[in-house]
Amino acid sequence: MDFMPLNGRQFPRFSGIKTFYRLPYVTDPNLDFNVAIMGAPSDAGVSYRPGARFAPSAIRDISSLGRSYHWNHDIHVFKKLKCADVGDSSVDPLSIENTLTLIEQNSFDWIQAQKKLLTFGGDHSVTLALLRAFKRYHKTPLNFIHFDAHLDTYPAAWGHEYHHGSFVRHAIEEGLINPSSSLQIGVRGPLAGDEDLNVNIKYNLKYITTDEIKIEGLKEISKKLSHFNGPTYLSFDIDCLDPAYAPGTGTPVPAGLTSFEALWLIRQLSISNLVGADVVEVSPPFDQSQITALLAAQVGHEFLAKML
């Protein structure tokens, strides 16, 4: 198997069975390839608009437009990196606890076979399961880079600890990530109250707000991006973007990043060992003309380039 996308001259981009980036569909972890690309179709942790369970299918569909060559980095991503669509993790739509267990098990199978993992959610609660699997394998807390409008360090909601707005707090409390070597990018208000910052203060979890990015400018902000040494995980909540650029999401927040700003910031990140990444919170029922799903597919391509 050559692990290359389906040839667009032989099978035009509107044709063929839809896999991520038209890559081969693989179910055997023992095959020799580098990156497993998985869907995690769960929105069991959503507090407002549901629909993220449909994102892996929608992103597979529009990722037909993906191209291999990364112009800025001068890399033929799919020639350098053997990638495969490994299908969706199983989930339990009636139980977030079961879903977290299933996603942790499914992702661990690929991680244990020494694959890097790119996951398309799902709502942001799926990242907790993925981080549990990576911690289980690496046995050390990971560096964590987190694009989001929200801090996702919030308390239990309706008495439930696990939801899409609490996974960062759980990841810190469970020792899955090292907060002092982590960074949140694109966060902005309004918050429920200033106590929403308590977790960041308590654990010295740093953040760069959208206001800082917009007012100081991309070049100034890129100087604040330190090098990430050691196993690093990158999580991209599509709502870090302005709803004008990413309307298809569960909890939109106005005055966000543009597509260009988000992609440019990803390119500036210096990461020695990116072991896993995800793109979450795409909600196709609220999307327009597939623009949110298209951006998610391109963010995934950026992450693959970072894995090289």
- Using an 8 Å Cβ cutoff, are 84 and 34 in contact? no
- Residues lying near Mn ion in the complex (CB under 5 A) are found at 124, 148-150, 152, 237, 239
Minimum CB separation of residue 102 from Mn ion in Å reads 20
* Residue (10 or 192) nearer to Mn ion, CB: 192
> How far apart, in whole angstroms, are the C-alpha atoms of residue 95 and residue 75?
41
Burial 270-292 (b: 16+ CB within 10 A, else e): ebeebbbbbbbbbbbebbeebbb
If the CB atoms of residues 148 and 278 are measured against Mn ion, the closer one turns out to be 148
Its sign, for the CA torsion 50, 55, 58, 63, is positive
Other Cβ atoms closer than 10 A to 71: 7
Query: Considering beta carbons, is residue 185 or 297 the nearer one to Mn ion?
Result: 185
Within 13 Å of residue 71, how many CA atoms lie on the same side as its CB? Answer: 5
Q: How far is the CB of 233 from Mn ion (least distance, A)?
A: 14
> How many whole angstroms separate alpha carbon 238 and alpha carbon 41?
15
Strands (E), 169-270: 177-187, 206-209, 228-237
Report d(CA 144, CA 234) in Å as an integer: 6
CB nearer Mn ion, residue 46 or residue 77: 46
Residue nearer to Mn ion on the CB measure, 88 or 237: 237
Q: Which is nearer to Mn ion, 152 or 261 (CB)?
A: 152
Q: Tokens 């360090």 — which residue?
A: 153
Residue nearer to Mn ion on the CB measure, 161 or 220: 161
Given the complex with Mn ion, which of 82 and 164 has the nearer CB atom?
Answer: 164
The nearest distance, CB 203 to Mn ion, in angstroms, is: 17
Buried b (16+ CB within 10 A) or exposed e, 133-168: bbbebbeebbbbbbbbbbbbbbeeeeeeebbbbbbb
* Residue 246 DSSP label: -
In the complex, minimum distance from the CB of residue 241 to Mn ion, in angstroms, rounded to a whole number: 10
**Of the candidates 37, 224, 272, 262, which has an alpha carbon nearest to the alpha carbon of residue 147?**
262
